[in-house]
Structure 1
Amino acid sequence: MKRRCTLLFVSFVLVFSVLVFAQSAEIYIPAVKETEYGYEGVLAGLNVTVRPGTGHVYVDTLPLTKIDTQASARLAKEVTEEVLEKNLDNYDFFYIIRSDAPIIGGPSAGGAMAAATIAAVLNLSVNKNVIMTGTINPDGSIGPVGGILEKAQAAAQKNISVFLIPSGQRTISIEKKEKIEIPLGIKIITKTEKIDIIDYAKKKWGMNIKEIKNVDEAIEYFTAYKIKKEIIEIKSNPVLQGAMKNMSSDLLVYVKNKLAVAKDKKKDVPYNYEDNINSLLETSEKRIKDAESLYKKGNYYSTSSYAFIASIQAEYAKNLIDLLNADPKEDFLDDLISEKEDRIDDMKIKIREQEPDSITDIEILATAEERITDAESNIKDAWKNFYNKDYLDAVYFLSYASERVKTADAWLSIESSFRGNGTELDLERIKPLVERRIEDALSAITYAQTIGINADTKKLEKAQKEYEGSEYQSALIDAISARAEANLLMEIRGLEKNEIQDKVIVAEQDATKAIYNSEGHGAVPVLAISYLEYAKTFVDSEPTTALKYYKYAKAFAKTSEDIVKIFSGEPKEISKKNLVEPIKGTKEKENSYLALMLLAGIIIGFFFGRCQSKKKRCRFSLF
């Protein structure tokens, strides 16, 4: 009897655990199907279920859809993590799509999948009289889609009251066929007419169509809750600030000396190259002045970046003058490339000899290693142009490589500022993290390509080669950069400059928050803080560039946090307030949840009482 009591109790706990911990949301998603008369709108059912697991994403569609539906599901999970600022790798996600007819594959359900995922994770009730269409971008913004009229017609047939569409798509083009009389009969012509789908749907079906910019707005319509956003600020890290100040100061002295050497060689410039050399020297001088201005403002990473640009121009001018006066030129260039290549090899050895004893050291060494692999790539381009007799291009690539080596050395110079406990950290332990980041980059690039964006794969390919060569640190940086750039292309697709500027404001706060969280877990996110500072220098002049570096800052802040987790165990969770707040009183799901808990308590109490009434001991072990 005792054994039966135990088995019954364990069975109940298992069943109850599934009920409690499996959270789901169900909505309709509009799609289009192809018929012999053209495209027709249909509504498919979407169920998203979230359960404790290991971060897997499962997709079950009937009828089958294209592979981009799977990509949308993966991105929906990632967006949920971004929006809620929660790591959901301890949960599995199940996406079930059912339709009565074969539907055209496409990523237009991405926004709805993300909204349903957020609702499921937060255990919020969903209004099934609301539907939406729109692709989902990595930052949670909603992208453009086609077939809006057909989808609206399908929604009207199901008496849907609210249809959410991407911002900027209220005006659509429709084709109308008209018959016109001609001398020998009747001719059918097709005319394109633009209509306001919001006004059209309201008048014809009484349906409200709303434009939305992001998944946060979608959640408000679906659940009557809104996601809270906190505005935070971060304080500068005095140790990092001091280290970056010293590095930028040294680089300023270095580039000024380099420019002076190049200017001294001006007297040897052949007449037909004077304009080119003068242009290089003037650009270098201007960048030095920009760097000095940034230094006075305390923007030390930006100072270093501008000094690096100035040093490339000065080095290129110097090497170009030497080449023009060399005889034979081929031997001179051969020796010069070989010399720079030897410097790269020496620096690679120097980096490998470093013994990181703090987590910050790992990030600094990763940065130095990425710079040296960049130099290595450019020296290969120098050799390629040398063998093709393109000597001027060869000089540029070797000049760039030479200055890249200098920046790698500069990063190594600040490593001593961050002292650990004296125990060398095994860099092999970041290998799984590098693998995940490469997979993330591949997924982002693949998804971008499915929606018609030609995302560059060079950095991803570089990361993969570095990984294969066990250069995990530089592979990590390149993989993160590759993903961030692919995501950026998706997020700014079709946007006007003012819309990009709006994104810049949000991106700055997102990056700041990511750095704040990373520091809260004990990290010193060197690159993230540096990119945050650098992004601010482009906000007014080049908003797209500013957005790019804010995205870098956010991504690298999260990676710093991941590295802390690898070497220090599970980081303590930063306490968070409630993630959502009601727009109006909607407590049904919470109340039903409490009722379920109460019912469970009654059943357990009854079960326990019966065991006691029979004077049998039923032990319940909590662990």
Structure 2
Amino acid sequence: MRKILAILLAIFILNSVSAVIIKAPAVSLTDMGYVGVPINIQINVSKGTGHVFMDTLPLTELDMQGSARIAAKVAGEITGKDMNKYNVYITVRSDVPVVGGPSAGGTMTIGIICDLMNWSLNKHVMMTGMINPDGSIGPVGGILEKIEAAKKANCTIMLIPKGQRYINVDGNKVDAVAFGKKLGVKVIEVGSIYDAIPYFTGKKIVMKQYPENPAIEEKYKEIMKHLCDKILKIANEKYNYLSNALNTPYIGYEYQKMLLSELSSSKALLDKANDEYLKNDYYSATCSAFNALIKLETIEHTLNYLTGDEDVKTFLNRVQLDINHDKEIVYSKNVTTSNFEEVLAGRIRIAEAEKLLDNAWKSYYLGNYENAIKYGSFAKLRGESAVWWVSLKENNTGKEINNSTLKPLAQQYLDNAETISTYVETVFPNLPTDELENDLEAAKKAYKEGDYLLTIAESIDTCVKAEIPLVMFGDIDYSKKYARNKINLAESLGITPISALGYYEYANTLNDTISKVMYYKYSSYYAQMDIDVMRCLNKTNCSGISEIAVENSGSEEQTTVSCEGNSNGNFTTTVLSAVIGGIVGFAGGYFSRKVKS
């Protein structure tokens, strides 16, 4: 027993000496109102199994714990380290209770990076900002109070999230830069961790730039053109048929007017698809044509219902049979290194078709036949599109993928989805999360059923939807650049990242900011999925592929100052006491359980 305690204590002391101690600004509620206070964060990273441990005193809210997990994930990606092989220990200490919030996420990320890379810290720099899963810095509150906290901590540089220079105080705009200047603190906006690192370390980490692969880009264009030609042909033929069919029966003025309006909308979408096709934006053209086809399919079956040629229940039963047949085709395809993207796209669409059909039946039993027809028409086409996707490559020459090989990767993606969704729910407690929870449950269901490809896709869907509130006011250029570089990296491995390129192309055609960011997110996630799958299947081909490069920063104000692990005696003593107590408790509990068993 004594030997075990001695060993554990020795390990902790060694870790404390090499720990990173970084200061962060926080806000405390006092009798005089909100005030800025500095807090101490000690970070230890050691070999482990991917756990993140947090010890806070006074206790903080769950959003800081969620921030810690995201911080570890981002730090691993930025440094190129596999965080499943490390444990991260974060100890937070403050002299006063602080208001909860995720604003220390960026700071914790910096601290973890420095411990992983064995870099010293400039103790005269402080930072506030929420950490987002892509490494961007999100907005926080209490900017002015936190600048005051930086002053109290003798910091001369304060980093704040990009776009938060001007603060609204009682209806007046306050310039945070001018506010900091009066206190002797230089306030600088940063958009990402990449922007912040040089100020703390004198080092600059940049995403290694990979060039586009023209051959792969051309291959992608050929694949998408083939699919687009197919859908445009079907949609145009259906439009011509319905243009005539709608003029024949009398179904009542209001219904006639409604269906003709929908027909006009479908024509506008087809015209848009043709314009996009001429610009070689084949994925965007495919999306426009497919949306037109959904409208046309709905018009056709609504017309059949109104003329008495088809009752709704018969229609939905037929759709059910069609989807079952489509599912058999999709799941009969062997998954290989050359077609897993297409098979995954097919499985995603089958899962969506089944969800849409469920909604159709619910509408039917509620007596809402028009909605039942809309959902049923969409479900029918979504099932058919699944078959289109898995049939894109006729020559499947890749190496077959054993499903069990993807299980660890699926678990990793599922864990990531749970972490991000929980984080968002704590940061935005009033945000409707029903759809998010449904996506996460779908991912868990796929995992239990052993469909690991679908698990990955459903997890990605959860992550993207969860991240939108975090980045909706962020830097679109950062999201675009991040996605493009992930695509280029995938192409450098010989992958044709169809989904990633498609989402990237589609995002470029959109004007709505939130939608653009969302599809750039999908793009980067699917490119990363391609990279992860290839690394999982054949590590030798992917070894030596680095996503980062480290450069020295030339700025004098970014010169680093060594940060001693025991620079704060009282802080270290407090931590030491807490951990010794934890070790004793752990050891005592362990031996107690051994006796009981």
Aligned to 1:102, the other structure's residue is in SS state coil
Q: How does 1:533-572 map to 2 (within 5 A)?
A: 533-538=505-510, 541-569=511-539, 571-572=542-543
**Residues 1:517 and 2:493 are matched in the alignment:** no
What do residues 275-321 of structure 1 show as CA deviations (whole Å, max 9, x unaligned)? 21112112222222222222233322222222211110110111111
User: Residue 291 and residue 86 in structure 1: after superposition, are their counterparts in 2 closer, same or farther (change >3 A)?
Assistant: farther
**Residues 1:124 and 2:119 are matched in the alignment:** yes
User: Residue 197 and residue 289 in structure 1: after superposition, are their counterparts in 2 closer, same or farther (change >3 A)?
Assistant: closer
Deviation, 1:222, is: 1.7
Q: How does 1:312-351 map to 2 (within 5 A)?
A: 312-326=294-308, 332-351=311-330
Q: How does 1:439-588 map to 2 (within 5 A)?
A: 439-452=415-428, 453-455=431-433, 456-457=435-436, 458-492=438-472, 495=473, 503-538=475-510, 541-569=511-539, 571-575=542-546, 578-584=549-555
Deviates more, 1:232-241 or 1:481-490: 232-241
Aligned to 1:580, the other structure's residue is in SS state strand
Decide whether the 8 Å contact of 2:201 with 2:560 is kept in 1.
no
Deviates more, 1:278-287 or 1:563-572: 563-572
* Identity value in percent: 31
What do residues 41-97 of structure 1 show as CA deviations (whole Å, max 9, x unaligned)? 322211223333333222222333222221111111222244446544333322222
Deviation, 1:404, is: 0.5
Aligned to 2:50, the other structure's residue is in SS state coil
- Residue matched to 1:4: none
CA distance in 1, matches of 2:493, 2:180: 50
Deviation, 1:442, is: 1.9
Q: How does 1:265-414 map to 2 (within 5 A)?
A: 265-266=245-246, 267-270=248-251, 271-326=253-308, 332-356=311-335, 358-414=336-392
**Residues 1:56 and 2:36 are matched in the alignment:** no
What do residues 130-155 of structure 1 show as CA deviations (whole Å, max 9, x unaligned)? 11222222233323323334433343
User: Residue 31 and residue 248 in structure 1: after superposition, are their counterparts in 2 closer, same or farther (change >3 A)?
Assistant: same
- Residue matched to 1:199: 178
CA distance in 2, matches of 1:543, 1:485: 15
- Residue matched to 2:161: 166
Deviates more, 1:481-490 or 1:467-476: 467-476
Q: How does 1:54-133 map to 2 (within 5 A)?
A: 54-84=49-79, 87-133=82-128
Deviation, 1:174, is: 5.9
Decide whether the 8 Å contact of 1:226 with 1:582 is kept in 2.
yes
What do residues 338-371 of structure 1 show as CA deviations (whole Å, max 9, x unaligned)? 0010000111111222222x22322211110110
- Residue matched to 1:605: none
Decide whether the 8 Å contact of 1:23 with 1:51 is kept in 2.
no
Deviation, 1:373, is: 1.2
- Residue matched to 1:44: 39
Deviation, 1:165, is: 2.6
Deviates more, 1:377-386 or 1:161-170: 161-170
Deviation, 1:374, is: 0.7
Structure 2: gaps (5+ residues): 1-9, 565-597
Decide whether the 8 Å contact of 2:79 with 2:117 is kept in 1.
no
CA distance in 1, matches of 2:221, 2:179: 58
Deviation, 1:216, is: 2.7
Letter of the aligned partner of 2:450 in structure 1?
S
User: Residue 362 and residue 195 in structure 1: after superposition, are their counterparts in 2 closer, same or farther (change >3 A)?
Assistant: closer
Letter of the aligned partner of 2:527 in structure 1?
A
Decide whether the 8 Å contact of 1:22 with 1:49 is kept in 2.
no
Letter of the aligned partner of 1:563 in structure 2?
V
Q: Which has the higher contact order (CA 8 A, sep 6+)?
A: 2
RMSD over aligned Cα, in angstroms? 2.9
Q: How many residues are paired up?
A: 543
CA distance in 1, matches of 2:486, 2:371: 41
Decide whether the 8 Å contact of 2:15 with 2:44 is kept in 1.
no
Decide whether the 8 Å contact of 2:180 with 2:187 is kept in 1.
yes
Deviation, 1:509, is: 2.2
CA distance in 2, matches of 1:22, 1:228: 29
Deviation, 1:193, is: 6.7
CA distance in 2, matches of 1:578, 1:565: 20
Deviation, 1:230, is: 5.1
Decide whether the 8 Å contact of 1:520 with 1:574 is kept in 2.
no
Q: Which of the pair has more CA radius of gyration?
A: 1
CA distance in 1, matches of 2:16, 2:389: 47
CA distance in 1, matches of 2:221, 2:81: 29
User: Residue 588 and residue 373 in structure 1: after superposition, are their counterparts in 2 closer, same or farther (change >3 A)?
Assistant: closer
CA distance in 1, matches of 2:86, 2:407: 22
What do residues 446-478 of structure 1 show as CA deviations (whole Å, max 9, x unaligned)? 211222254541322332333333333333212
Letter of the aligned partner of 2:554 in structure 1?
I
Aligned to 1:416, the other structure's residue is in SS state coil
What do residues 174-199 of structure 1 show as CA deviations (whole Å, max 9, x unaligned)? 68xxxxxxxxxxxxxxxx87644443
CA distance in 1, matches of 2:412, 2:445: 15
Deviation, 1:156, is: 2.7
**Residues 1:434 and 2:425 are matched in the alignment:** no
CA distance in 1, matches of 2:319, 2:550: 54
CA distance in 2, matches of 1:588, 1:153: 22
Aligned to 2:280, the other structure's residue is in SS state coil
Deviation, 1:322, is: 0.7
Letter of the aligned partner of 1:441 in structure 2?
A
User: Residue 391 and residue 174 in structure 1: after superposition, are their counterparts in 2 closer, same or farther (change >3 A)?
Assistant: closer
Q: How does 1:20-31 map to 2 (within 5 A)?
A: 24-31=19-26
Deviation, 1:486, is: 1.5
Deviates more, 1:227-236 or 1:384-393: 227-236
Letter of the aligned partner of 2:503 in structure 1?
Y
Decide whether the 8 Å contact of 1:360 with 1:526 is kept in 2.
no
- Residue matched to 1:183: none
Aligned to 1:97, the other structure's residue is in SS state strand
Aligned to 1:425, the other structure's residue is in SS state coil
Deviation, 1:40, is: 3.6
Q: How does 1:165-184 map to 2 (within 5 A)?
A: 165-172=160-167
Deviation, 1:251, is: 1.6
Decide whether the 8 Å contact of 2:207 with 2:549 is kept in 1.
no
TM-score scaled by structure 1? 0.80
Letter of the aligned partner of 2:523 in structure 1?
A
CA distance in 2, matches of 1:314, 1:479: 32
CA distance in 2, matches of 1:272, 1:105: 55
CA distance in 2, matches of 1:172, 1:527: 40
TM-score scaled by structure 2? 0.83
CA distance in 1, matches of 2:351, 2:94: 50
Deviation, 1:37, is: 4.4
Letter of the aligned partner of 1:385 in structure 2?
S
